[in-house]
Amino acid sequence: MTKARIELRHGAGGGAMRALIERVFVDGAADEARDGRLGLAAMDDGAAIPLGDRWLVLTTDSHVVQPVVFPGGDIGRLAIAGTVNDLAMMGAPDVLALTCAVVVEEGFPLADLERIQASMRATCIEAGATVVAGDTKVMGRGELDGIVLNTSGVAITDRVIPDSGLHAGDVLIVTGTVGDHGLAIMAARHGLALEGALRSDVAPLNDLVRHALAAADGTVVAMKDPTRGGLASALHEMAAKSAVGIVLDETEVPLTAEVRAAGELLGIDPLHVANEGKAVLGVRREAAADVLAALRAHPLGRRAAIIGRAVAERRGSVVVDTGFGRRLLVEPDGEPMPRIC
């Protein structure tokens, strides 16, 4: 395997990426079980370390996106929301602090950097978070493509929610429409004339999650944000880690008319593309209605919907009920490519 090289699909959020991480990074991280911490081997949205009878949750994420400014957001908003959401997905919506490292290419317009910074600040205010430490590096022209932002975050919570907590019978709720971010980026990147109607959903979800958890009283058992790889990858991961099957009711998955049309036109399944302002919650069946109502009462959760359930059969698989029949949902391998350029 000495000839093997990193390919783009290794970063696309699907099975290839998990295999790479397991092989290169997780292998050898042997101090996992110590003090019950949730570390690299759990491959969750973040780590959780016991702190007395509470948990310290921490996470880090590097952000690259082309174009840097896209319909509905920019890389600054993405970098703050991404890390805040990773903390929230661990059950830790109250952000203690964030850090931000910027690596920028020589020649990058200062005005763009200022705009990104303003966007980060605005998103922090929205999320009730602050950046308390930072770092800036400049690299030569051509040594990177524009700008890379890395954000880390810490938070404290009483109860960690892993993405592996589903049991047969639990209900799956998505907090709103899916596919918006990925298709908006794709349309912008390929110069498709559809872009006006498509907007990224990028947003910090911690306030929404706080509301849902308050209504749930311990009945939210699993959470994940369906970023790269889309809802398909998120459900696959939840099914595999929880050792349950998942049945997805495709006709219940909320989609905007624009995403539906763009998906049909480009031959891209909205279930396979990234979201940056949505979460999937696994909820005990008896509490599903209450959690759904709490989500829908929040501005970011108005189109929340029950989209499926965990079952005891077909562990590790996701079955799609299309309304006409059933099939297995496949995880995307690599970035979905539009049928036309």
Closest to another protein by CB, 37 vs 260, is: 260
Cβ 18 to another protein shortest distance, Å: 16
Cβ 340 to another protein shortest distance, Å: 6
Closest to another protein by CB, 153 vs 179, is: 179
Cα–Cα distance measured from residue 276 to residue 9, given in angstroms and rounded to the nearest whole number? 19
Closest to another protein by CB, 181 vs 309, is: 309
Closest to another protein by CB, 290 vs 321, is: 321
Alpha helices in the chain (DSSP H): 15-21, 75-89, 110-127, 180-189, 206-216, 230-242, 257-266, 288-296
Cβ 54 to another protein shortest distance, Å: 37
Give residues in contact with another protein (CB under 8 A).
9, 245, 247, 251-255, 257, 260, 303, 305, 311-314, 319-330, 333-334, 340-341
CB 248 within 8 A of CB 127: no
**Tokens 């079955």 found at:** 319
Cα–Cα distance measured from residue 301 to residue 211, given in angstroms and rounded to the nearest whole number? 10
Residues 6+ apart with CB under 8 A from 330: 232
**Tokens 């749930």 found at:** 216
Cβ 331 to another protein shortest distance, Å: 10
State how far the alpha carbon of 304 is from the alpha carbons of 56, 157, 173, 340, in Å: 29, 24, 7, 32
Cβ 15 to another protein shortest distance, Å: 11
Closest to another protein by CB, 44 vs 269, is: 269
State how far the alpha carbon of 321 is from the alpha carbons of 84, 172, 206, 228, 252, in Å: 33, 14, 31, 23, 10
